[in-house]
Each structure stands twice: as structure tokens, then as C-alpha cells.
Structure 1
Amino acid sequence: MNVHEMLQNPDEHVRFAAYLDKLGHVADPDEVDRVGSVLTDPDQTMAQSAVLRHLDRRAAGLYPGPPYEGWAQALAQATIDHPFLAQGLREWSVFRAVTLKLPWQPDDLLAASNWLQLKTAAGTNTEAIEILAEAGRTKRIRNTARAGLSHRSES
């Protein structure tokens, strides 16, 4: 079933699952076009949710290595008209920088979503964890960061 055939199915749950399947099996050179095709679905909430799930899956596998940067740049162009998706890519880039100890800005981390702050608070970058222990957005984030710092001081 191609993307155009998927659009003919009125059930967004069926289309969502089909999009995830198609995105999960797309060859790298075709990924940007496939993402663009999914984003033509009239149900933008569903389409963007499928693309975000795909971006999260791909970013989780790519972020530690050099291919991430080219991939993120290409997908940033494909999602430029979709602020929700562009924000998700930016957050993966902040996570990558913090985790790999590349240059990053504390303000980027503090402005990030609860998801990114919590993921970072449970990570290994002491500087980031200290920032989140003090100024994380939620009590859960601050407590997770403090627990991580306390665990480190006991080791």
C-alpha cells in the first residue's frame, strides 16, 4: 500500500499504523520524501504524531554517531513548516550535545520539554544534572537530578 492508497482509508488508526510501518522500512535516501508524503495527510495531528514517533525512533539510534548531524539537517528541512516536529528535532540535538559533552547552552536545556529535562536529569552529564537539580521545570525533574547527584557522591 503506497501513501496515496493510505489516504483513501478513512480510519486514522489504520493510516497511523501504516505510516509507521512505511517510515520504519524506508531507505535512507527516501526518508525525507516519505516524511513529506506522510505530512500531506489531511489529519495533521495524526500525521505529525506518526512522523514524531519515527523521528524519535531514528534519533535514538543515530544520536551517538556522526550520521546524526546530516540526518537531523535533512529532516529539519522536511519538517520546517511543522513547529512541533522541528522542536522535537531540536530537543534531540540538545540531548545529543549534552550526552556527548559537545557544546550546549544551559538556556536551551532549561527551555526544553519535560521529556528532555527528565531524560537529561537521569543521564551522565554532571553539569546538566546540577542545572536541572536547581532549576528543572518540575519537582520530578529536580528530584531525579538530585538523586543522580547524590548517587554520584556516594560512588
Structure 2
Amino acid sequence: MRPAQGIGFIYLSLLAALLLTVTPVPFQFNLFRPDWVLLVLMYWTLALPRRVNIGTAFLMGLLTDVLVGTVLGVNALAFSVVSFVVAVNHLKIRNFSVIQQSLLMGLMLALYQLLLFWLSHFLTGVNFRPAYLWPVLTGMIVWPWLFWLLRRYRRQLKIQ
């Protein structure tokens, strides 16, 4: 496969994650929606840290801010911080089992949610609710399936 096709699939998966983020769901389920963009970003940062890096995370965060309607730059900063932590430790994280990775990704998702809350509280005065952490649990549950799906396509398409 040519490198341009590999990059195309990476950005296609990120676009699909953006679409999953803004897809309407019933109000009761919206609270439990995983952070799709961050999960896909973490996978690609873990698998190919030289191709998907902090710059990509910042760009995807800006797109998420625009699509979701949050304060511009909040998701961008939080995505960048989490992507940095994953990129710096990608060699260690790769050696973990998928279940251990799921628990670690839960910590990264919690870091993201707490950064998002802190920035929102600083900028708009939002108060903390424990319900902010439901996407952490659903993200941990989704991680193994997302990991296996993206890894399968990465190997099948020979993306390096």
C-alpha cells in the first residue's frame, strides 16, 4: 500500500469518530457516549506515533470544539495533553495486554474529562458532577473492540 492511502485511512477513521461524536442519540444515552475521537486518536498515537501526533490531536480537538459547540480550544488542549502522554509512553503501553491497556486508557479518558472540566470551570463556571465520568467507563468497555478493529484494518491495509 502506498503511504498516501495509509494516511487516508487514518483520517477516514478519525472522520468516522467525529461523526460518531455528533450523531444524535436519545438523551438518556448521551451521558454514556464514549469519547470516540479521543479513543481513535489514542489508538493511532499508540500504533503510529510519528504519523499521528500532538498536532493531529490539536487539529481534531479544534474540529471537535467546532462540531460540538464548546469553547474553542478546550478539546484541542485536552486532546493534545492526552496524546502527549500516550506518545511518550507508547513503547510501554504496547507491551500491555488489551485488558491492561483498557484500564490505562480509562485513566487517560479520566485525565481528559478532568482537564475538560477544569478548563470549562475556569472559562464558564461549570460545576462538577460525577456523571462527567460515565464516558470513562464506556470508553474502557469500547477500547478492546476498537483496538482489535483498527489493528485488523491497519494490518490488512499494511499501514506503517
TM-score (norm 1): 0.33
TM-score (norm 2): 0.32
Higher relative contact order (CA 8 A, sep 6+): 2
Which has more radius of gyration?
1
